[in-house]
Amino acid sequence: MSTVMTPAAAARRELSPFDGRLVGPEDAGYDEARKVYNAMIDKRPAVIARCAGPDDVAKAVNFARDHDLLLAVRGGGHNGAGLGTCDDGVVIDLSPIKEIEVDPQARTARVGGGCVWGEVDRATNEHGLATPSGIISTTGVGGLTLGGGLGHLTRKCGLTIDNLLEAEVVLASGERVRAGEDENPDLYWALRGGGGNFGVVTSFLFRLHEVGTVIGGPTFWPVEAGAEVLSAYREFLPNAPRELGGFFAFATVPPGPPFPEEIHMRKVCGVVWCYAGGEEDAAKAMAPLLERLPEPLLHGVQPMPHAALQGAFDEVYPPGDQWYWRADFVKEIPDEAVEAHAKYGAAMPTWKSTMHLYPIDGAAHDPDSSDTAWSYRDAQYGSVFAGVDPDPAKVDEIRQWTIDYFEALHPYAAGGAYVNMMMDEGQERVRASYRDNYDRLAEVKAKYDPQNTFRVNQNIEPNA
């Protein structure tokens, strides 16, 4: 690159022919192209390579590496810490790589690296099938999967990575490889939880399950019942059948349909359910919790396509809000933790701010902690504290509430956190999140990415 040539101009010259689009700061559309989901993140890449396929990806990786430019990889752009973009470097934007092939006989789906979950869930739902994803349909398949994948179907079908059969990967060398049980098994192991550390995944192959219609929706109680509801929930959930997913939440009832007007904007606690099975069985499975608690404000549970449940919160959380996150793995919720939850849950600073406890048991406990890179198979929940508001003037308030809530609960947590729900919290926290798997991950990293080309992520440093 000559000293007068911008990286975008150099990329245009050196990457030709490039099937996708290269966008630099001087181009129309740059400000749109550099936006990510969390409006708190405002980065200015030197060049955004909107890749049309794996060849484009390999060229962009080679370009960034050879010019010693920071390289970020963007799937759905949802990452709370903004790890799908960077300042002054190259962003590989996978969003044009959208192919989805569902094979109902083999019960698999091949999914392009730039898909978001809504696209996949709708395509598999047409066949009465699903793979476990998250709870918001605009989240990227890439980031969610590589970090682990927690969602409505975790208890029945495991983490998303437990259903990842193979991946097509562009390595830091620009080489294209396949990773699966029988090919590059070390890479396959590391991809299942190790995030974007090992390469750019241009295609995922997922196992599908017979899940079409689910019985889903929220049960809400007044936020003042937080301690009572959470105490009952912590005893109920581990004994519930695997078909029943249900995450605990503190939230505010959104100011619009389908919620009854009289509870709009009311702070609540409750459970968001997903039962993969029939209505009667669902009612039976929920009964032990519902019967021991007072009448709820709302029990909005009904049959719906899995894809509809998965998109149910999309309107509340469109792109462009300010988000500040903290997270922890949790094994137990002692009485003191219940009290602290009730206190901070009732103090949510804005109506979009929330706390969720995602179950990580059932099928997610079947693999051992060393079977995949995701090491916390003995956690019972992933807690996430999210301060959210559209107004940038509220940033300090939502950040402070999130940190205060997290710090009050952290003494009762298991150690690390789900990497997909962490901010930039330093190397020790990443190490704690991978525990005994960290050293093996560092070895795999040294083999596939010795120069740490892929470092805009919850970074695993290559073994020296």
Ligand X SMILES: Cc1cc2nc3c(=O)[nH]c(=O)nc-3n(C[C@H](O)[C@H](O)[C@H](O)COP(=O)(O)OP(=O)(O)OC[C@H]3O[C@@H](n4cnc5c(N)ncnc54)[C@H](O)[C@@H]3O)c2cc1C
- Judged by beta carbon, residue 170 or residue 225, the one nearer ligand X is 170
Three-state SS at 417:
coil
Contact by Cβ (8 Å): 23, 8: yes
161 lines the binding site for ligand X (CB under 6 A):
no
Specify the residue, 195 or 462, whose C-beta has the smaller distance to ligand X. Answer: 195
Stretch that binds ligand X, among 17-25, 138-146, 291-299, 404-412 (CB under 6 A): 138-146
45 binds ligand X (CB under 6 A): no
Task: Decide whether 80 or 231 has the Cβ nearer to ligand X.
Answer: 80
Query: Residues 193-232: x/- map of binding to ligand X (CB under 6 A)?
Result: --xx---xx-------------------------------
Q: Is 142 in the site for ligand X (CB under 6 A)?
A: yes
Picking from 134, 136, 137, the residue whose alpha carbon sits closest to that of residue 147 is 134
Q: How far is the CB of 196 from ligand X (least distance, A)?
A: 3
Alpha-carbon distance of 201 to 233, in angstroms, equals 38
Least distance between ligand X and beta carbon 122 (Å)? 17
Q: Does 249 bind ligand X (CB under 6 A)?
A: no
CA dist., res. 291 & res. 275, Å (int): 18
- Which residue bears the tokens 């992520």? 457
Minimum distance between the CB of residue 71 and ligand X, rounded to whole angstroms? 9
Cβ-based nearer residue to ligand X, 191 or 340: 191
Output the smallest distance, CB 341 to ligand X, in A.
19
Burial 133-161 (b: 16+ CB within 10 A, else e): bbbbbbbbbbbbbbbbbbbbbbbbbbbbb
Question: How far, in Å, CA of 193 to CA of 190, rounded?
Answer: 7
What letter represents residue 78's amino acid? Answer: H
Q: Judge whether 108 and 165 are in contact, CB under 8 Å.
A: yes
Q: CB of 213 within 8 A of CB of 125?
A: no
Cβ atoms 107, 129 nearer than 8 A: yes
| Token pair in block for residue 454 | 């892929």
Among 22, 48, 90, 144, binds ligand X (CB under 6 A): 144
Sign of CA dihedral 248, 421, 178, 124: positive
Residue 158 found at the interface with ligand X (CB under 6 A):
no
**Contact string (CB under 6 A) for ligand X, positions 409-428, x = contact:** -----------xx-------
Query: With respect to ligand X, which residue has the nearer C-beta, 375 or 420?
Result: 420
CB 96 within 8 A of CB 115: no
Strands 302-305 vs 267-275: parallel, antiparallel or unpaired? unpaired
Query: Quick check: 135 binds ligand X (CB under 6 A)?
Result: yes
Tell me which residue of 410, 405, 295, 417 sits closest to 345, measured CA to CA: 405
Q: Does residue 387 interact with ligand X by CB under 6 A?
A: no
- Considering only residues 65 to 104 of the shown chain, the ones binding ligand X according to CB under 6 A are 73-80, 83-84, 94
Interface residue with ligand X among 118, 140, 193, 217 (CB under 6 A) is 140
237: three-class secondary structure by DSSP: helix
Spatial separation of the C-alpha atoms in residues 76 and 62, rounded to whole Å: 22
Least Cβ distance, residue 6 to ligand X (angstroms): 23
- Residue 421 CB, shortest distance to ligand X, in Å, is 6
Instruction: State both tokens at 444.
Output: 């795999």
The answer for residues whose C-beta is within 8 angstroms of residue 3's C-beta and 6 or more apart is none
Q: Which C-beta is closer to ligand X: that of 200 or that of 364?
A: 200
The count of residues interacting with ligand X (CB under 6 A) is 35
Q: Min. distance of Cβ 224 from ligand X in angstroms?
A: 27
Map the footprint of ligand X across residues 443-462, applying CB under 6 A: 456-457
Shorter beta-carbon distance to ligand X: residue 151 or 226: 151
Q: What is the contact surface with ligand X in residues (CB under 6 A)? A: 37, 73-80, 83-84, 94, 113, 134-136, 139-140, 142-144, 146-147, 149-151, 195-196, 200-201, 317, 420-421, 456-457
